[in-house]
Amino acid sequence: MSIIQDAAIQFYQWSAGPARWWRVRHWRQAGTMPVAVLFYHRVADEHPNPWTIATKAFAQHIDWLQAHFDIVSLSEGQHRLGPAGNSRPTVCITFDDGYADNHRFAIPLLIERRIPFTYFVTLGNVVEQRPFAHDLVRGVPMPVDTVEAIRALVNAGVEIGSHTRTHPDLGQITDEATLFDEVVRSTQELSELVETPIRYFAFPFGQRVHLNRRGAELARQHGIQGVCSAYGGFNFPGDEPFHLQRIHGDPRLSRLQNWLSFDQRVVRIPRFRLGVS
C-alpha cells in the first residue's frame, strides 16, 4: 500500500512539475522565494505514534533537505522575508515539546552536520520531569528532557525556544494573568534556567484555533522575536515575519517532498493574521 501511495504522490508531483517550475523561476527572479519552517516532535524507533518519526526516515529527510535547500536559523529565515527578499530555496528546522529521545540520534546528527535548528521546550514538564499529557492519554509516557540536557544544547550553540509552562490550548485562554504566565513568565523562567536569551515562542498544538492574538502581542512586547504556528503554509517575503507558519515534518518523505516542491495546496493555505508586526 505504501509503495502505491508513494507512486501516486510522485505522479501528482511530476504532473504538476511544469507549472511549479515556472512559478519557482518567477519567485527566484522576483526575490520572493518562500521560506519553509518544519516542525518535528520526537525522533525514535520505539513507541511509534503520530508525532514520532523513525531515525532512518529522519536521516533521509535531512539528506534530502541538505541536497535541495539552504537550512538556516529562524532569524536568518526571518531576514530572508525582509526587504532584501529571497531567491534561494530555504528551510528552517524546529522541534516542539522536549523529548529526551531526540538526544540519542536526531540532535547529534544535526550538530555533527552543523545544521541550525530551534528546540522549543515546555518548561513545566522539563522542570518537574513530568510526561506530556498527550502521551499520558495514550498510556505511553515518554521521557522528557532534563534541564541539564537543555543547558548542554545551549552550550552546543542550539537555539532554545519557549513552548509555554503547561502546554495548554492558548486559543481557549482569555484570562490575562494565565496568558501572561504561559507566554511571558514561563519564557523568562526558561531563559533564567538555561542562562540564555529566548527569542522564539511556539504555540502548543499550533492550529488556527489554538492561536491567541493577545498572547502574540504579549510575546512581542516582552522581547520575543517570532512566534510559530503549525497549521502548514510557507512564509513569503513581504509576509508578517513575526509569525512563522510551520509545515509538519511528515514521516512519509514522498509527501514532504511534494509539499516542499511548492504544492499549490500548501502555497495557498490562508495566513492567520496575528496582527503583530
Which residues are at the interface with Zn ion (CB under 5 A)? Answer: 96-97, 204
The minimum distance between CB 163 and Zn ion, in angstroms, equals 6
**Helix 186-194 crosses helix 147-155 at what angle (to 10 degrees)?**
70
Of 210 and 252, nearer to Zn ion (C-beta) is 210
Of 96 and 145, nearer to Zn ion (C-beta) is 96
The minimum distance between CB 21 and Zn ion, in angstroms, equals 36
C-alpha cell at 4: 502505491
The minimum distance between CB 168 and Zn ion, in angstroms, equals 10
Beta-bridged to residue 120, according to DSSP, are 161
**Of 25, 81, 102, 52, nearest in space to 235 by CA:** 81
Q: Are 237 and 82 in contact (CB under 8 A)?
A: yes
The minimum distance between CB 54 and Zn ion, in angstroms, equals 20
Residue nearest to Zn ion (CB): 96
Handedness of CA 226, 210, 250, 262 (dihedral sign): negative
Of 96 and 159, nearer to Zn ion (C-beta) is 96
The minimum distance between CB 51 and Zn ion, in angstroms, equals 8
Judge residue 133's burial from the number of C-beta atoms within 10 Å of its C-beta, 0-12 exposed, 13-18 middle, 19 or more buried: middle
Of 81 and 228, nearer to Zn ion (C-beta) is 228
C-alpha cell at 6: 508513494
Of 202 and 218, nearer to Zn ion (C-beta) is 202
Of 161 and 204, nearer to Zn ion (C-beta) is 204
The minimum distance between CB 203 and Zn ion, in angstroms, equals 8
Give the number of other Cβ atoms within 10 Å of residue 143's Cβ.
14
SS3 state at 181: helix
**26 φ, ψ (degrees, to nearest 5):** -65, -45
